[in-house]
A and B are shown apart, each in its own frame.
Chain A
């Protein structure tokens, strides 16, 4: 090699280490702050090297307050139900479009594609979901609007089926007397597991991280808040914990509430599951991002 190879590799590694640090250190600050004693936080602010540690914030979160636990439950519920339903509907819509000779296939494909070009935006969506379907302040509000399925995923699925399910296999199953539903679930489904897994990750992450549906549609029923909605609400209203959880003796509680550290502790609780499973799903996630970029 002509250039100074060794020097280049050192510099390159230093740059990548710095970049990686930029991506990770904010989370470290979050974690350490959540473990810092409240009085130290008030005196010195959030810091990477606090004078003393304490588990008070976590003790507070998990003791006596069911709100966080409930938020967790709701987040897990909508993530599971939303992902399973959404992916099933995506597969059901994508599979017929991948079959040859289906009359009207192009019209339906365009019907789906058009939703990527044009949309009504927040005002009409809000009015239709809340005034026509009355999902405001129900669990459906966290499940239905926007997150369930989208044109992009449908086309990813269809392209995968086009490329990976040969017509001969389906024809063979048909000759053996299998019905179309049977073929879909017994033949096509097992063969499309890689794409289903990738899309499920994307949709699941979308549900886990969503806070907008809760912001728009959950107005009064704060017991339906997902963990993200709780976080969102707390950031906007520092008194939320005191008023929402302490009840009647809110004012006396507020004084002793470790509010500075507890915010960070709840944020940690909110991201921990994602970060914990991330190493396991990293491969599929990267694959999904890479395929997504290749247009259909």
Chain B
């Protein structure tokens, strides 16, 4: 029976071989179609940045305006502000996030007792599960001028006057950094923790036998073995340095006008231009600027890592 099958296969030869891949290509059709629609069409759609968009005509038929939209965008101070905010916040997020997550992962690893470890790990991941909308409710519960916990309880106990948080921009850089850290450290911590527990246990045993202190073990075994993970995660964040968490900058400050100076990033700017101010020209120019520079940054960040430490490059 089996012999028959094999001889049959051989007889059919080439025809069978080329035909056998058809089901595979068929399987890939829905996914590839989706990527074309959701990802590739918008890439070509970037040409709107060079057009004066008329909704009735659509993207293709709208008239060209050359670099007009870009001139219009870069003449304002907005271009500078949104670039500064996007990059600076990201840099601070990367540094605070990495230091804090690595530190917590190391502490978590030093905890004795499986049950305790699991409980801590479970609890610090909770903020990651929650949508940015709910996070803005949490922030609102603390910072609302009339009924917030900070004004009504904390500052009242301290005998200090209330602050109208949503219109005082000087506090927001700190608030946004804290909220971002709160939301994301559990997630990063798990990644670093997974890297720590994959370290060869005999290394630690040898260190203990040699009388190495806890600090020495962390410095000489744990940190060096985390280097690869740190580089990879940092590289991924640096690659996205021209992008911001729209929810964090739009939703958490409640889209409050007086705060725009310190909360406006490229993503919020594009959104407001497109859907609130009906200023598609500037929005599409800012979007194009983001896509292009973002692309260049991803490629260069990877190229640099590739030169320094090839195995940590993403591609």
Contact = CB atoms under 8 A, between A and B. Distances in A.
A16 B148 contact: no
A232 B140 CA distance: 12
Contacts of B5: 175, 177
B31 A44 contact: no
Nearest to A233: B133
A13 B111 contact: yes
A190 interface: no
A18 to B, nearest CB: 11
Nearest to A17: B120
Q: Give the most central of B27, B53, B275: most A CB within 10 Å.
A: B27
Interface stretch (A55-63, A64-72, A113-121, A243-251): A113-121
B115 interface: no
Contacts of B229: 293
Interface string B255-267: 1000000000001
B48 A180 contact: no
Interface stretch (B73-81, B84-92, B169-177, B283-291): B283-291
B142 A29 contact: yes
A184 B38 contact: no
Nearest to B141: A46
B278 interface: no
Interface stretch (A20-28, A76-84, A159-167): A20-28
Given A12-B111, A29-B142, A45-B153, A282 B122 contact: yes
B215 A127 contact: no
A23 B126 contact: yes
B298 interface: yes
A100 B64 CA distance: 47
Interface in A4-59: 5, 8-9, 12-13, 15-16, 19-20, 22-24, 26-27, 29-30, 33, 41-42, 44-48
A43 B107 CA distance: 42
Contacts of B55: 131
Interface string B19-39: 011011101101110110111
Interface string B108-151: 10111000100111111111011111101110111010111101
Given A149-B31, A236-B254, A45 B144 contact: yes
Given A45-B148, A209-B131, A122 B137 contact: no
Interface residues of A, number: 100
Contacts of A146: 38
B191 A289 contact: yes
Nearest to A291: B194
A275 B25 CA distance: 40
B127 A263 contact: no
B222 interface: no
B214 interface: yes
B251 interface: yes
B213 interface: yes
Contacts of B214: 1-3, 5, 8
Interface in A260-296: 260, 263-264, 267, 270-271, 274-275, 278-279, 282, 285-286, 289-290, 292-293, 295
B24 A275 contact: no
A275 B126 contact: yes
Interface in A203-233: 205, 208-212, 216, 228, 231-232
A211 B134 CA distance: 10
Given A27-B126, A45-B146, A274-B130, A119 B34 contact: no
6 contacts: A9-B111, A9-B112, A23-B182, A29-B142, A121-B46, A124-B59
Interface of A: 1-3, 5, 8-9, 12-13, 15-16, 19-20, 22-24, 26-27, 29-30, 33, 41-42, 44-48, 89-90, 92-93, 95-97, 99, 102-103, 108, 111-113, 115, 117-128, 131-133, 144-146, 148-149, 151, 154, 175, 177, 179-181, 184, 205, 208-212, 216, 228, 231-232, 235-236, 260, 263-264, 267, 270-271, 274-275, 278-279, 282, 285-286, 289-290, 292-293, 295
Interface of B: 2, 5-6, 20-21, 23-25, 27-28, 30-32, 34-35, 37-46, 48-49, 53, 55, 58-59, 104, 107-108, 110-112, 116, 119-127, 129-134, 136-138, 140-142, 144, 146-149, 151-153, 182, 186-187, 190-191, 194-195, 208, 211-215, 229, 232-233, 246-247, 251, 254-255, 267, 270-271, 274-275, 280, 283-284, 287-288, 290-291, 294-295, 298-299, 314-315
